[in-house]
Amino acid sequence: MDRRRVLIVDAFAEEPLAGNPAGVVPDAEGLDEGQMAAIADELGASETVFFGASDAADRRLRYFTPEGEIDLCGHATVAGHAHLFSDGVIDAGSHTFETNVGVLDVEVESDGAVWMTVQPPEVREVVADESRVAEALGIDAAAIVTDELPIAVASTGLPYLVVPLDYLSSLGGIDPDQEAIEDLTAEFDATGVYAFTFDTLDAESTLHGRMFAPGEGIPEDPVTGTASGAAGAYLRHAGAFETMPGEMIFEQGHYVDRPGRVRVRVGTEIEVGGEAATALDGDLRVPEGDDDEIIEA
């Protein structure tokens, strides 16, 4: 029976048991899709990243939730590269990785912080019934501040329905109707709903966000890299600032007891970055790929 090293690495956190946990399989060569899906299900993280060989980039990355494969995951990318750096597999500097959505760049700083260059942004404002959006989020419609900023679908690899709210109390008071949110995301062809406010816990932070993606099996994600990149693109599109800050800090995860911070740069390219901490490091026994139990896991 095959044995593979597996880790749980908490992205966008300086210490374990905070931020967003990602499964990391640093050597996935020879694993088939059924085995990857079973490993992701066993680890139980919202996403698990599998590292393999690539002819187009330094490495091939594949991402699986307990529900199945997805094209891209920011926090797992940060977690995986932070592990490779701490393990001495890669040095500080620039690296490339191949995903289902193309080849992307990652920069590892000497202190272990990882920056991912996301895909070129796409932002489209949408006509959404504010009462319906508010009902899905379980908040008062008056908390949605579309007189200042639009509701829009923003993407830098994965699309999110971005909803601006007035105060942290409104964001914290969200009581999501998961079925209604899934209907919303399906209608607007979005991965999830990202609600945010400029009202923050830390004076240094730019905004506080929450992300819900029940259609992907994620009732609420602790800290979301791809959604943060999309939110950065959205802020520039909406003209939220007279001059875009050189670097922004997005808070997330506090309402699910997994506080974290995502660093976002919006320039010629959009970059999402942060630190990561290893919480678990061990081996997993993996049956052969033609084992029916693995296929069904």
CA atoms within 13 A on the CB side of 48: 28
CA distance 182 to 292: 31
Q: Contact at 8 Å (CB) between 232 and 244?
A: no
From residue 291, give the alpha-carbon distance in Å to each of 27, 34, 286: 20, 9, 10
Vertex 39, ends 35 and 44: CA angle to 5°?
Answer: 150
Distance from C-alpha of 89 to C-alpha of 96, rounded to nearest angstrom = 14
> How far is 18 from 10, CA to CA, in rounded Å?
6
Out of 15, 29, 47, 275, the active site residue is 47
Could you confirm whether 47 is annotated as catalytic?
A: yes
Q: Which residues are catalytic?
A: 47
